[in-house]
């Protein structure tokens, strides 16, 4: 396959603006994942022709075959990332290239074609620019609203056979959101842990962001809520090792015997999604340790 077939070109992106803007809800009324902005990004791929021209079009329904492979064999994956509006009015994305890398790894697990991660990110930035008025402004009661960005990759070939799809669609929609939990962003949540329920296992696709990792957990979440808990603490193995909480990575913080703070998070063993926030916290913690050691060394020798 030639380079022109393998990669779509961000420079040629086509933009069609809506003539019927959607109403925006007040920030205080936003429910996570329930409202969508005016536009979406679409890029089609076929095995014969490669990638089509990226298009930003008015948000609307997709026309898809009921036999497409994503519906029957879970040849799909997605990402979750956010755009924030700062006090200076500028809109910023949080480490979006890490999300593109993870989407690429998930695509491999789902037998979907390779895509230009940098080019697709530039297309997403164009989508956010078009819908920048949908990035919610912080208020006194909602301190950290954001525009949730959902890149999605699906096999679209209408073929009832278990193989990699010969047609696919890479697209992106956005949604203005407030706190994920009804209790608020920084309020404690109660956790339900039962070793009878397992989220992922070695040799599976627990490290990929795929719908098949989430659908089966909904029933367990409902069980937890019926017992009065907010989220599920997922355990694994004979020792009931901690893995994740709900749809998130988990960190444990404590004060050790020397009076120093420590944090720990489960290692990436193939069963845990490598979160971008997780990576960022570990990188920050490493700089704090280096700084602490440097200050201690300076103090000792002065």
**DSSP per residue, 142-176:** -SS-EEEEEEEEEE--B--SSS--SEEEEEEEEEE
Which residue, chain included where needed, has tokens 């809800």? Answer: 25
Query: How high is the pLDDT of residue 112?
Result: 97
**Between 301 and 10, residue with greater pLDDT:** 10
Q: What confidence category does residue 211 fall into, taking pLDDT thresholds of 50, 70 and 90?
A: very high
Report angle CA 157, 162, 166 to the nearest 5 degrees: 30
* Cβ neighbours of 84 (radius 10 Å): 16
Q: Over 70: is that where the pLDDT of 121 sits?
A: yes
* Cβ neighbours of 94 (radius 10 Å): 15
Which residue, chain included where needed, has tokens 């393998």? Answer: 6
Q: Over 70: is that where the pLDDT of 182 sits?
A: no
- pTM of the entire predicted model: 0.89
- Where are the chain's structural domains? 3-177, 191-290
Q: Over 60: is that where the pLDDT of 294 sits?
A: no
Residue-wise pLDDT for 13-65, tens only, equals: 999 999 999 999 998 888 888 899 999 999 999 999 999 999 999 999 999 99
Q: What confidence category does residue 296 fall into, taking pLDDT thresholds of 50, 70 and 90?
A: very low
Q: Over 90: is that where the pLDDT of 71 sits?
A: yes
Strand arrangement of the beta sheet that strand 241-245 belongs to: 191-192, 231-236, 241-245, 248-249
- Rounded CA separation 153/208 (Å): 13
Comparing CA positions, the residue from 143, 137, 133 lying closest to residue 17 is 133
Specify whether domain 191-290 bears CATH 3.20.10.10.
Answer: yes
Please give the structure tokens belonging to residue 27.
């920030």
What are residue 167's phi and psi, to 5 degrees? Answer: -130, 145
233: β partners = 245
CB 300 within 8 A of CB 115: no
Specify whether domain 3-177 bears CATH 3.30.470.10.
Answer: yes
- Rounded CA separation 61/102 (Å): 26
């Amino acid at each position: 396959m030639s380079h022109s077939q393998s990669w779509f070109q961000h420079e040629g992106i086509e933009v069609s603006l809506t003539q019927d803007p959607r109403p925006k809800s007040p920030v205080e009324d936003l429910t996570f994942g329930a409202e969508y902005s005016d536009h979406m990004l679409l890029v089609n791929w076929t095995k014969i022709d490669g990638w089509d021209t990226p298009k930003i079009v008015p948000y609307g329904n997709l026309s898809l075959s009921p036999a497409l492979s994503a519906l029957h064999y879970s040849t799909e994956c997605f990402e979750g990332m956010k755009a924030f509006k700062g006090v200076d009015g500028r809109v910023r994305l949080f480490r979006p290239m890490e999300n593109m890398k993870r989407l690429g790894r998930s695509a491999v697990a789902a037998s979907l074609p390779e895509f230009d991660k940098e080019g697709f990110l530039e297309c997403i930035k164009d989508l956010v620019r078009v819908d920048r008025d949908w990035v919610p402004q912080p208020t006194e009661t909602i301190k950290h609203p954001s525009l949730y960005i959902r890149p999605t990759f699906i096999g679209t070939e209408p073929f009832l056979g278990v193989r990699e799809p010969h047609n696919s669609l890479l697209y992106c929609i956005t949604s203005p959101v407030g706190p994920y939990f009804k209790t608020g962003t920084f309020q404690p949540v109660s956790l339900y842990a039962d070793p009878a329920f397992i989220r992922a296992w070695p040799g599976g696709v627990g490290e990929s962001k795929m719908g098949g990792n989430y659908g089966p957990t909904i029933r367990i979440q409902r069980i937890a809520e019926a017992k009065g808990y907010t989220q599920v603490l997922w355990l694994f193995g004979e020792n009931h090792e901690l893995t994740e909480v709900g749809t998130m990575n988990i960190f444990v913080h404590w004060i050790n015997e020397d009076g120093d703070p420590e944090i720990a998070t489960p290692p990436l063993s193939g069963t845990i999604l490598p979160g971008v926030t997780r990576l960022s916290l570990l990188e920050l913690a490493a700089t704090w340790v280096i700084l602490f050691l440097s200050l201690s060394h300076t103090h000792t020798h002065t």
